[in-house]
Structure 1
Amino acid sequence: MTTYPKTEALMRRGTEFLGCEAAILCGAMSWVSERNLVSAISNAGGFGVIACGAMTPDLLDAEIAATKALTDRPFGVNLITMHPDLFDLIAVCEKHAVTHVVLAGGIPPKGSVEAIKGGANPAKVICFAPTLALAKKLLRSGADALVIEGMEAGGHIGPVSTSVLAQEMLPELSQEHVVFVAGGIGRGQAIAGYLEMGAAGVQLGTRFACASESIAHPDFKKAFFRASARDAIASVQVDPRLPVIPVRALKNRGTEEFTVKQREIAGTLDRGEIAMAEAQLQVEHYWAGALRRAVIDGDVENGSLMAGQSVGMVKSEEPVADIIAQLMNECEEALTRRKA
């Protein structure tokens, strides 16, 4: 097996935390980060993460079982904090002794972190931190590790770039805590820079979306191969009362339809037909359906083509093992040049 001594030394805290060989997590992409891609990433030495998204507890139960049948290596499960069945989903993860649970989509509700860490099969908790203040609060509340993700990422995004977040947060947090960097990472040279700044590892989504093991429709993958960085745009918030987290995706008819959908949901809020929590949940269900149309059905015009700005670096279908080896090689070469 190829070794990457400089990279492995800087990733050691991350690999020990995750239980894998390369501290490269796969971002949880609904309909894409399922049993096939997740197991392939873990089998290749990285760390796969199942995207639970809008799954019911029964569906997640089946997905975890199917993933375990394909790999005996550690993998994680990403849960959306606003999911109405969050605690049932946590119980499913505990049942299967999932080693790491990633909480995304907002501040974890009361008792959720304790439920993950305190069961019969306690798991480590990874949270997303868009600001330094929230990062410190999450760590005080029991998060075992953080992902700081910049606005270059695909899917739900914050307002600040990865490079700025890394400069602000890594010097403050990385000496005492495990911190992964995400957003806009497409090559190993960028990984080298974040590792040198103190990151324990990185998370990539877009780079893996078109892997050979990804079940995404061929037309979905072709849309990625054709795209450039500027084609991955952030959604626009229509109504300030509806705190919709922006989503980055390739521009198509579906991005325009989301603007219309927001107006519809805002109208139901105006008429008092639904509460704010339900309005936000409707937005999440919209994205789940739009993603399925693109990823599974191949409707690249009306579905959601969630992609980060690194999409311009995705040019062909490659096996997961080759992607991870390429990233590690690029990182090692960059670190070697810098040491020299």
Structure 2
Amino acid sequence: MPFKALWITETADGKFERNIVERVIDDLPAGEVVIRVLYSALNYKDALSATGNKGITRKYPHTPGIDAAGIVEISRSELFGTGDEVIITGNDLGMNTCGGYGEFIRVPASWVVRKPDGYTLKECMILGTAGVTAALGLHKMELLGINPSQGPIVVTGSTGGVGSIAVALLAKSGYEVIAVTGKSHADEYLQFLGAQKIENRDFVNDTSGKALLRPQWAGAIDTVGGNTLLTLLKACKPEGAVVSTGLVSSPKLDATVYPFILNGVSLLGVGSAETPMTTRLLIWEKLKDVWNIKDKLNAIAKEVSLEELNLTYIDSILQGKIMGRIVVKIGEK
């Protein structure tokens, strides 16, 4: 059966082209579960894959999309039956396995999560990898004992997908949130999500050369990296925790050990793609219950078609022009 998919090809001269083509299920990789995809989402990693970044996707042609939500069409696993509503975030989907920007995917059953009760498939994709990443960051901080009484939490890249959801999750959990953004028109949006203070990027861009700064926050969820991450560590309160989830500015960290050995600050990494299934299920349970931010999701998301994604939004996210989450309507029930 033919279906529509975004197809990235590499030309003989090393350039990459994006086209929407027809494919067939028989061409998909091996797996126990065939899913008819209704929604996907746009992540920075998807845009890199769609523009030929071989650090993300080794072989082309390829269909990106690290998030997918839809209905089980064929199952050779006792865990899922035809008609089940399911989601996938991460694993190898959309990286080296044809991903959610196609109307069908075929994947191992071990990647698949049953849709949480109380959420629609679209809402699951508003959260998607960004939501799992933000929630994992908060989860790891709280495992170390971080709580709202210890002081504010900084969120950098606060208008992006991970940042927007992190602001909403932290506010829902009772934290004072300092949202850092380079967008001058984002105050109303961030206040709606729950930010109590909004600062520009200079707030977390220390250039003094000092190894430590006056402690100002109990922790942070950082999507930027580079000197921003370094500043967050240097000004973190004793026994605080800083979560690193991205490298928009730089993958390098030119740090001393002083924040760690003098102030006991913890640097926590979040790589949500390889999250064990037990933790993944726990995170979705928390997003359904104690971290439920359904009332914020519509403000975070913009729905687009696969054609609009290809023409506009893949390039826009690479240029830093996206606010919140882009949800991609792929198919119909």
TM-score of the two chains, using structure 2 as the length reference? 0.31
Which structure has the larger Rg?
2
- Higher share of residues assigned strand: 2
- Higher share of residues assigned helix: 1
TM-score of the two chains, using structure 1 as the length reference? 0.31
